[in-house]
Amino acid sequence: MHSTTPEQTRRNFLGRTSMGLGALAAASISQDSDLLARHRKTGPGMGLHHPAKAKRVIYLFQSGGPSQMELFDYKPALMKVHGDELPNSVRGDQRLTGMTSGQSTFPMVSSRMFKFKQHGNSGTWISDLLPYTSEIADDICIIKSMHTEAINHDPAITYIQSGSQIPGRPSLGAWLSYGLGSMNENLPSYVVMHARTRHPEQSLFGRLWGSGFMSSQHQGVLLRSQGDPVLYLNNPAGVTREDRRAQLDALSALNKSQQERFADPSVLDRIKQHEMAYRMQSSVPELMDLSKEPESTFKLYGDDAKTPGTFAACCLNARRLAERGVRNIQVFHRGWDAHGNLAGEHGNQCKDVDQGSAALIKDLKQRGLFDETLVVWGTEFGRTPGAENSDGRDHHPNAFSVWMAGGGVKGGTVYGTTDELGWAPAENPVHVNDFQATLLRLFGLDHERLTVNHRGLGVRLTNLGGNVIEDVIA
């Protein structure tokens, strides 16, 4: 093996020159900060900056931009101006996407096809598209004044997932794994699921749950609903578990020898990942087997929960992952990009996600997990008050709605408002970085102190912005 090793690479030279210099070079070249982080007393499992409210997060990400005006942000004033042109004084210099910028008119359109009612002791306004979510009105905190700079899907979803519109940064789940470490030995710290959708227009990319320039041990692991839950997890035909154990032992010995020569931390990461995969061969099949769940569970989540890959089934699996000590769980549900036929498409989408989302909250509560589990229902941006193609709405970064529950969040509350047309925040605007800072704070982490040394810079999730929204924390 050594005869095929390139002897004059920069890493080999530095590694052989000095173990101290070699370790520093390996950390820099591999773009891994764990060695440097230990010198700064930070890194995986670094400890809390504040008392933590939450131990785990279940992030239900609605990819594509649900219309806040059809779901959570009741705008009766739009009824009075329905069909009128959006005033230039309201629009200002806000750009539109290429899908509506060429329209000769941009008429305002109300959510007249759906009714809003007040629910719970809190009197929270929620659309009749979400009857099950209405039942948990007193458990959730709706933020109506979210805003971002990105107007197209890819940069917007990358921004809210990683703190930057430019790909390559660690995801939120990776930051939590880096800062808090893992709570279990047999499953990854960060697990991702993709729910089936009737409107699969939008693509999702691995960088949305990736580790960027962090160690690869912090990246999310995608659980699939068909075939092997994790690609290449099962042994090939003819290979027994004992054979696999012997192979891993031999491979580990070779990797350890390599690590001793060059002090490259990425080699240790590979050893850890191989061992985790071996343990997952037993833990993942048991996790995905819903046969032992009682009928009462499926009554709560709905019949869809019996079909692998549905949003309801993903929510049920999210609860099972939470019980087994997985810290970061994220469910992506695509199809909210309603440029046309908004009423029909949002009707389908809400049928897919409404019961499962509410059931997850109720299930966590009855199992005593709610208070320490943060549940987030969010997206990358909202929709315009003006119509696209008469029956749709365009992307709108100025204002959108998300909700949070459990994990130290004040339930039965609404934070922030938008103007009477729903164009922009009117009170308590919440930027994407503010939202991210608040999520980290609920886990006891200070977003300004949780940093990774990358190419000489102390990089953080919130970049150079972000303020914790203290009023939503219980």
pLDDT confidence tier of residue 252, bands split at 50, 70 and 90:
confident
Query: Which of 335, 317, 351 has the alpha carbon at shortest distance from 224?
Result: 317
What is the residue extent of each domain of the chain? 41-234+318-349+360-472
Q: Residue 288's pLDDT is what?
A: 73
Q: Are 59 and 332 in contact (CB under 8 A)?
A: no
> What is the spatial distance between Cα 394 and Cα 474, in angstroms, rounded to a whole number?
35
Give Cα 82 to chain centroid, integer Å.
Answer: 35
Tell the CATH topology of 41-234+318-349+360-472.
Answer: Alkaline Phosphatase, subunit A (3.40.720)
* Residue 343 CB neighbours (<10 A): 17
% of the chain at pLDDT higher than 90: 61
Does residue 362 have a pLDDT over 80? yes
Q: Residue 411's pLDDT is what?
A: 97
Question: Which two three-digit tokens encode residue 282?
Answer: 């037993």
Beta-strand relationship, 425-427 and 140-147 = unpaired
Beta-strand relationship, 382-388 and 373-378 = unpaired
pLDDT confidence tier of residue 16, bands split at 50, 70 and 90:
low
Does residue 465 have a pLDDT over 70? yes
pLDDT confidence tier of residue 227, bands split at 50, 70 and 90:
low
Determine the length of the chain.
Answer: 474
Query: Which of 304, 396, 464, 473 has the alpha carbon at shortest distance from 65?
Result: 396
pLDDT confidence tier of residue 32, bands split at 50, 70 and 90:
very low
Question: Which two three-digit tokens encode residue 163?
Answer: 């703190």
pLDDT confidence tier of residue 217, bands split at 50, 70 and 90:
confident
**What is this structure's pTM?**
0.84
Please provide the average confidence, as pLDDT, over all residues in the chain: 86
pLDDT confidence tier of residue 183, bands split at 50, 70 and 90:
confident
Does residue 45 have a pLDDT over 60? no
> What is the spatial distance between Cα 435 and Cα 469, in angstroms, rounded to a whole number?
7
192 DSSP β-pair partners: 222, 330
Q: Residue 322's pLDDT is what?
A: 95
pLDDT in tens, 126-178: 999 999 999 999 999 999 999 999 999 999 999 999 999 999 999 999 999 99
Does residue 240 have a pLDDT over 50? yes
Q: Residue 38's pLDDT is what?
A: 36
Phi-psi region of 424 (alpha: psi -120 to 50; beta: other; left: phi over 0): beta
* Listed range (3-12, 356-365, 401-410) with the worst mean pLDDT: 3-12
pLDDT confidence tier of residue 281, bands split at 50, 70 and 90:
low
Does residue 276 have a pLDDT over 80? no
> What is the spatial distance between Cα 398 and Cα 408, in angstroms, rounded to a whole number?
27
pLDDT confidence tier of residue 9, bands split at 50, 70 and 90:
low
pLDDT in tens, 107-120: 889 988 899 999 99
> What is the spatial distance between Cα 136 and Cα 123, in angstroms, rounded to a whole number?
11
56 DSSP β-pair partners: 373
HSE-CB of 291 using CA atoms within 13 angstroms: 3
Does residue 21 have a pLDDT over 50? no
377 DSSP β-pair partners: 60, 403
Q: Side chain identity at 285, as an amino acid letter? A: P
Q: Are 324 and 280 in contact (CB under 8 A)?
A: no
* Listed range (20-34, 346-360, 454-468) with the worst mean pLDDT: 20-34
